[in-house]
Amino acid sequence: MAAVEQRLVDDDEAGLRLDRWFKQHYPGLGFGQLQKLLRSGQIRVDGGRAKSDTRVAPGQTIRIPPLATDAKSVTNKPLTANTMKGREDGDVLSQMVIYEDEKVIVFNKPAGLAVQGGSGVARHVDDMLEAWRNKKGEKPRLVHRLDRDTSGILVVARTRGAATALTKAFRERDTKKLYWAVVKGVPTPHEGKVSTYLKKEQTPDGDRMRIARHGEEGADHALSYYRVVDQVAQNFAWLELEPHTGRTHQLRVHALHMNHPILGDPKYFEHDTNWEFPGGVQKRLHLHARRIVIPHPNGGVIDQIAPLPQHMRQTFNLFGFNEAELED
């Protein structure tokens, strides 16, 4: 029979909401079940009752009762291309969920998982959602996209009506989308905007976006805001990015345009031949869709934050970046 666990909060989990702490450590535990355990006092922090929005601190002890969850789903292994292999689509989707109700699902998409199909894409979210068709035959619908190599917030509608409302919110820019990135060098000034025109072009390595002239055929306006949150000397910076428009690869191209490309970007990271990639940092795209604030189809607002992927958390730890600085 399973026993009660007592788990210590790690140093790199300072300021994390309790519900997000559980999502990281027990992804198979449903939101409703978590709320029930909190209300009944079965989950406690340092012996006291807690709520889902309680902020945890390093060294605190979390009491965890026996959890009635699928043992295959409850895993501390982060989702990657390798850990997803051989697993059912529905099981993988369940581990990705950070918020859900009768109209909306918010996923934390892992880096490397495509949102839609394309050349060389064997598995993608749109196809995986077939596993979640409801009794009426409705399949959850995508309402926006993320690049394959970008991790983080992905909003999906459960119904046709919700899809219409959410798509409208994205189209009319009635949303707030915040991204985190780690870039080479430190932008000056530390806060500002990038306004350009972007155009898609064909290259031997596939489609690539480039800076275009105003009025150039096929070029679209792209506007992004940025802010330096922290830095490592003049070598690297942690940026908070907010795209006002939603062009393909917009933030990645704008980072390069500032001469501060995003670390690990397979398409747009450029550097001189004498520059060495920092040891201990994985050569994977360091761009994460961290937060979204969007009107709920039923009224009110959805405000969700996605935990960092493993490779970015590793870089944050190496560089001494404290993600609790930007937690609400």
User: Please, which residues have CB within 8 angstroms of residue 267's CB and are 6 or more apart in sequence?
Assistant: 205, 208, 249, 252
C-alpha span between 323 and 16 (Å, rounded): 9
Please tell me whether residue 285 adopts helix, strand or coil conformation: coil
Residue with tokens 């009025």: 215
Q: Is 262 exposed, middle or buried (0-12, 13-18, 19+ CB in 10 A)?
A: buried
Q: How many other CB atoms sit within 10 Å of the CB of residue 278?
A: 14
Amino acid residing at 45: V
Please tell me whether residue 35 adopts helix, strand or coil conformation: helix
Q: Which of 46, 91, 147, 230 is catalytic?
A: 147
Q: Is 185 exposed, middle or buried (0-12, 13-18, 19+ CB in 10 A)?
A: middle
Do residues 194 and 254 touch, judged by C-beta distance below 8 A?
yes
Residue 147 among the catalytic residues: yes
Q: Which residues of 44-62 are buried (b: 16+ CB within 10 A; e: fewer)?
A: bbeeeebebebbbeeebeb
Give Cα 225 distance to the centre of its chain. 18
Do residues 251 and 224 touch, judged by C-beta distance below 8 A?
yes
In the chain, which ranges are continuous DSSP H helix? 18-25, 31-39, 81-84, 89-96, 125-128, 160-171, 250-257, 310-319
Beta bridge partners of 157: 104, 141
Please tell me whether residue 303 adopts helix, strand or coil conformation: strand
Q: Which residues participate in catalysis according to the annotation?
A: 147
